[in-house]
Chain A
């Protein structure tokens, strides 16, 4: 039998931690499941309620009756939560430029992990969109690495404080430039950077790694699997659950907070987390009296924070979609550009599938296997959808996105079949 849990919080980032802390403060028993080794700071050591954390653990699926499957390092566990808070955050995007599958091409998050772990000073080229790229370039510099060049897709790069700081530190700033190609056999030999407009000759730069900071997308797999009504919100970074009062999804007992509800900053994430924590307390009957006191202003705070952040997102999110369109169109026109790295599906194969009658991303998936590989479509899902919309001349997103299937990430069978009660 699944284990009863009062409130399950999926994700130990700013939103998840805030949700767990607030729910616990209001007397709810909370379990936090986090894929990484640690959760963010801010969980109460001992509160009114209790917080159990399962780290290095993956929520691998959501099943009928809201049962949530978790694999911990030791075993497989089924949970039956009264309330689930999806706080899975966002993932970095990769776009299909020639050479995007080179091992030295990494996303912003992976770049920082790599930089922290590196024992030598590495040379980086950062290709980003406005603040998204600038922030990671600054972080790499702060970790003691050398950023050779920062190619910023925004034409007005250079105005910001961060960019000035990079320039002062000797980083070359290429405004309005995007990645043309990354080349090299084992090592990265050079990166071609070119104007987004396509005019002018590309410039070549050399580095150990190319960090791609072309934006993020909400991690929405568990919301899809939970059966939440979803909507495509380009301004929020892609598909997000339809919500009422910011955190309440269409599925009873399923809440969402932070980037998973639509791209936002840490401040909004924490506020939404708190709001979700209160909603969880209310739903579990722990906090009928506290809600009236606190939540009206909290709701207003979340609204204000989302409004404030809208401007910041508007500075780069539209360019993220423009770059996606740019690279996917280019990939469809070239003979061997991969659109799905895991299954090695090229733009030409996607074009052939559409020529053979595929109408939807799901049709292309079946015809080409795009999206069926190890990353579970994380990187290619949006690209294939874009490709189908380009090829069928329909606005993105075209109907019926590729389906989501558990596990949301590959799970070792040995872990999966290990349960405390051997059924």
Chain B
């Protein structure tokens, strides 16, 4: 295959994680080509609930990683020079039954093992003080000041624009068909548009990461999980805080969702799920009954076998890195930073040992 470009790094996948990785690498002077079989942010990033979520991530080290990333948003977004509707006022997970409250206390107790944890259980009265517009059926909530939300599409678009201005080249609507190696080490990426020579390749292909890893003979157990999300037409500003399951954008649009379904790569929405999501949301925020549904969509999200991020180098394939996680938006600043550290410095001060991408392997196929 004809070599059409040369780069220091090829980043596979132009979603929130891939564009962040490309941006961070370009900031450190690397020549980067960003490849995607679609457009910028056209996959999971365009179909996500777009929370920046910390307080209910478990185990504790994963919460700490998420917290570290959540704190990177503000400086990162300041560099992007675009309004991406970043809003980190804290967040709530509502308790609608006694059982939810019991679980909430247990979760907060576990997370409090971390000195950095700021989450707590709040009672009904405080929940209503924190958040206008809630149903009287709400019994309480977990609250943390570290959570927030963002407009994921604006964010990825802005990241890509900033990356391009730093010299990142994009090869869009271009599919990766293989990865070249010499003596085990990565030497280039084969695409439908030609070969791109590069000594480093970053796999940030989200739900398709498994197939990309397979191109270097790596077994990466990341499967697609479907999440359906509803968006309403703009409503008067009501909610102050984003919540797990219901949030309101600065534009007034409510987002409701999501589901977690095993549906392969089928991005269909289903009327039953749409109604269930809407009913659950109305139960929590009664004025949603007066809203009009504008759009229902499903995102195919990446789910590593154990739910934890896959982040780091693959020692058996020199030059190959993985940056894939279920919380792509929340972790995108950190993933970008870590991969840039690893490629530029060979190390990172961020503790990524628990996220070694070689840990999750597909179960042996039963024949």
Contact = CB atoms under 8 A, between A and B. Distances in A.
B160 A363 contact: no
A69 B271 contact: yes
A64 B279 contact: no
B174 to A, nearest CB: 11
Given A61-B269, A63-B268, A366-B157, A358 B39 contact: yes
A357 B196 CA distance: 19
A411 B293 contact: yes
Contact of A359 (B172, B289, B297): B172
Given A61-B296, A423-B276, 9 more contacts: A357-B40, A357-B160, A359-B173, A360-B39, A363-B172, A373-B294, A399-B173, A407-B294, A417-B282
Interface string B127-161: 00000000000000000000000000100010011
Interface secondary structure of B, over-half rule = mixed
Contacts of A63: 268-271
A366 B40 contact: yes
Contacts of B41: 366
Contact of B42 (A64, A67, A363): A363
A413 B287 CA distance: 10
Given A410-B294, A416-B275, A374 B233 contact: yes
25 contacts: A63-B270, A63-B271, A76-B275, A357-B40, A357-B160, A357-B170, A366-B39, A366-B153, A369-B153, A373-B294, A406-B295, A410-B233, A410-B292, A410-B293, A410-B294, A412-B290, A412-B291, A412-B293, A413-B289, A413-B290, A414-B290, A416-B278, A417-B278, A417-B282, A419-B275
Interface of B: 38-42, 46, 153, 157, 160-161, 164, 170, 172-173, 232-233, 266, 268-272, 274-276, 278-279, 282, 288-297
Nearest to A78: B271
B42 A413 contact: no
A67 B233 CA distance: 25
A417 B275 CA distance: 5
Q: 10 closest Cβ contacts across the A-B interface?
A: A363-B39, A410-B292, A69-B271, A414-B289, A64-B268, A411-B293, A417-B278, A367-B157, A366-B153, A413-B291
Nearest to A76: B275
Nearest to B292: A410
Nearest to B164: A357
Contacts of B291: 412-413
Contact of B274 (A372, A410, A416): A416
A224 to B, nearest CB: 13
A9 B291 CA distance: 29
Contacts of A89: none
A399 B294 CA distance: 25
A416 B278 CA distance: 8
A359 B161 contact: no
Nearest to A77: B271
Contact of A406 (B38, B39, B232, B296): B296
A362 interface: yes
A356 interface: yes
Interface residues of A, number: 33
A74 to B, nearest CB: 15
A354 to B, nearest CB: 12
Interface in A281-299: none
A407 B39 contact: no
Given A411-B292, A413-B290, A362 B39 contact: yes
A322 B330 CA distance: 47
Nearest to A358: B39
Contacts of B272: 78, 423
A11 to B, nearest CB: 20
Interface of A: 61, 63-64, 67, 69, 76, 78, 356-360, 362-363, 366-367, 369, 372-374, 399, 405-407, 410-414, 416-417, 419, 423
B294 A374 contact: yes
Nearest to B45: A366
Contacts of A423: 272, 275-276
Nearest to A67: B271
Nearest to A227: B268
B185 to A, nearest CB: 31
Contacts of A67: 270-271
Contacts of A414: 289-290
Contacts of A357: 40, 160-161, 164, 170, 172
Contacts of B39: 358-360, 362-363, 366
Given A61-B269, A61-B271, A357-B172, A362 B42 contact: yes
Contact of B293 (A64, A78, A359, A416): A416
A363 B233 contact: no
A264 B170 CA distance: 44
Given A64-B266, A372-B295, A405-B296, A363 B40 contact: yes
Instruction: Name, among A360, A369, A416, the residue most crowded by chain B CB atoms within 10 Å (CB to CB).
Output: A416
A358 B269 CA distance: 27
Nearest to B274: A416
Instruction: Name, among A412, A413, A414, the residue most crowded by chain B CB atoms within 10 Å (CB to CB).
Output: A413
Contacts of A417: 275, 278-279, 282, 289
A419 B38 CA distance: 38
Contacts of A410: 233, 292-294
A88 B324 CA distance: 43
Nearest to B170: A357
A80 B296 CA distance: 20
B46 A356 contact: no
Contacts of A374: 233, 294
Contacts of A399: 173
A115 B108 CA distance: 64
A360 B276 CA distance: 34
B239 to A, nearest CB: 16
